Amino acid sequence: MRRELGKGEPVRELTPAAGLTGRPVVTLGGEAVGQVKDVVLDAVNGRIAGFTLAGRGLFSGPLRKSVPWAGVHALGTDAVMIPSEEVLEDKAAVTTGEEASGGLVRGARVLTDLGVQVGTVRDVIVEAGGEGAVVGVEMSSTEALGHHEATVFLALGSRPAMTGDTLMVPVRDTEDVAGDLTGLAAAVRRRRLGGDGGPGAVGEGRAL
């Protein structure tokens, strides 16, 4: 289960899930075992479940191994570090019961609890660190936010509600949209200082 973040806990580096694709996976011994093919999200706890792998090089295809999040030593800006190849598991160990990030919310409409669509999800934003938490979305805004089809970033609660192809958010959260990842980090920090609405704040549904 995902650990609830403490009030005021610092925000680590934020990364779009799509930006992790192609990142090398390297052991602490310096051996490159592949590269990230898909980011797989835990649909219940709002975090990364792990990564499926592809071989490196122009003609390399998908591998039958995966990296569960528990086996990640560090999510670096240039590589995903793992202790050794011993943490690799069969691909099904990560993908069973989960969904790749592109299939989970990319393209979903973002709807407030007042029934107003404020955007369409372009990507999910994950936080580096022990939890691999999904902390926000990058979305294309609607006129409801004052900027049609502008790229904005919206901080999410610990379990944002998904129902079908719709991401539900409290209307109060749309008052703190950001224009870039730096602004999103500040918004996430404010949420932690003020307390997260937590699970069920927007009703029931499928979580990220």
- Give the CATH number of the domain where residue 84 resides: 2.30.30.240
Task: Say yes or no: 202 and 114 in one domain.
Answer: yes
Tokens of 132: 């691999």
Query: Do the domain assignments include residue 62?
Result: yes
Residue 18 lies in a domain: yes
In angstroms, the CA 14 to CA 136 distance is 9
- Containing 91, the helix (H) or strand (E) segment is helix 91-95
Structure tokens at 86: 């011993």
Q: Determine the pLDDT at residue 58.
A: 57
**pLDDT tens track of the chain, all 208 residues?**
444 445 556 788 899 988 899 999 999 999 999 999 988 887 667 788 899 999 876 556 678 889 999 999 988 889 999 999 999 998 887 876 545 544 456 788 999 999 999 999 999 999 876 678 889 999 999 999 988 889 999 998 876 777 668 888 999 999 889 999 999 999 999 988 876 544 333 333 333 4
**In the prediction, which pLDDT does 204 show?**
36
Q: What does the alpha-carbon distance between residue 74 and residue 127 come to, in Å, rounded to a whole number?
A: 12
Six token digits for residue 68: 């569960």
Q: How far apart are CA 19 and CA 15, in angstroms?
A: 7
The pLDDT value recorded for residue 198 is 45
pLDDT for res 51: 93
Question: Is 164 a domain residue?
Answer: yes
115 and 87 co-located in one domain = no
**What does the pLDDT read at residue 199?**
39
Domain that holds residue 74: 14-100
Task: Report the alpha-carbon angle 163-168-169, nearest 5.
Answer: 160
Instruction: Show which of 75, 100, 125 is a domain's final residue.
Output: 100
With respect to residue 181, please indicate whether it lies within any of the assigned structural domains. yes
Query: Residue 72 falls within a domain, yes or no?
Result: yes
- Establish if 200 belongs to a structural domain: yes
Q: Are residues 115 and 201 in the same domain?
A: yes
3-class secondary structure, 59: coil
Q: At which of 69, 100, 131 does a domain end?
A: 100
Residue 40 has what pLDDT?
Answer: 87
